Amino acid sequence: MRYPDGHGERVRTRIVEAASRALRRDGIDAVSIPKLMKLVGLTHGGFYVHFRDRDELVAEAVAYCARDSALSSDVPAAQAFARYLSQDHVRHPELGCVIAALGIEGARQRGPVRRAFAEAATRLLRGVERRLHPKSSDGAPSDEALATASRMVGAVVLARLVQDEGLANRLLESAKGR
């Protein structure tokens, strides 16, 4: 059966998008290839038409998450920071920052997955720098950007961990510098 032009790329994109949500929601080790392929309506065997192995998919999904971040978009700085430091982001890791969702797991990975996490973290830092100092020419994150990014990621992680919505809100607000 002949598929239309671009079919393979569209299927690959569907798999990556589904993986990016599942990984952020459930964690790296919890996402199996058979379960993921079933989620997108394909067979387990079809996975290998699109990816060499699981690591290739995970690395691509991490890169997709980093590109899809609020800090990578063109929304105004205040809006991007507010969206990042929101209860919506806390409640929906599958739609949010891959570093806040999986950072510690990413640090334990090897090869292409570890490199994808390193690039995602660097992209996050540069995104914060660009928001704080739009006129900066070299793109290297300032100490202010490093502190701000650390505070933001930490606030989201801690807000997800505490079982007290009031405390979670205080964590998010304190990271906003209020």
pLDDT tens digits along 122-172: 999 999 998 899 887 676 899 999 999 999 999 999 999 999 999 999 999
At residue 32, the 3 state secondary structure works out as coil
Task: Report whether 153 contacts 103 (CB < 8 A).
Answer: yes
| Domain ranges for the chain | 7-175
CA–CA distance, 101 with 59 (Å, rounded to integer) = 15
72-105 pLDDT tens trace = 667 888 899 999 999 999 999 999 999 999 999 9
* The CATH number of domain 7-175 is 1.10.357.10: yes
Confidence bin at 5 (pLDDT 50/70/90)? low
- Measured between alpha carbons, how far is 31 from 23 in angstroms, rounded to an integer? 6
Contacts of 159 (CB under 8 A, 6+ apart): 87, 90, 168, 169, 171, 172
Question: Are residues 16 and 61 in contact, defined by beta-carbon separation less than 8 angstroms?
Answer: yes
Say which amino acid occupies 24.
Answer: R
Q: Percent of the chain at pLDDT above 70?
A: 94
Report the pLDDT value the prediction gives residue 83, as an integer from 0 to 100: 94
How far apart CA 14 and CA 22 sit, in angstroms, is 12
| Nearest-angstrom CA–CA distance, 87 and 170 | 11
**Token pair recorded at residue 9:** 């790329």
Euclidean distance between CA atoms 33 and 132, whole angstroms: 40
State the average pLDDT for the chain: 91
Please compute the mean of the pLDDT values over residues 96-119 and round it to a whole number. 96
Question: Model-level pTM?
Answer: 0.90
Find the mean pLDDT for residues 173-177: 91
What tokens does 121 get? 């973290």
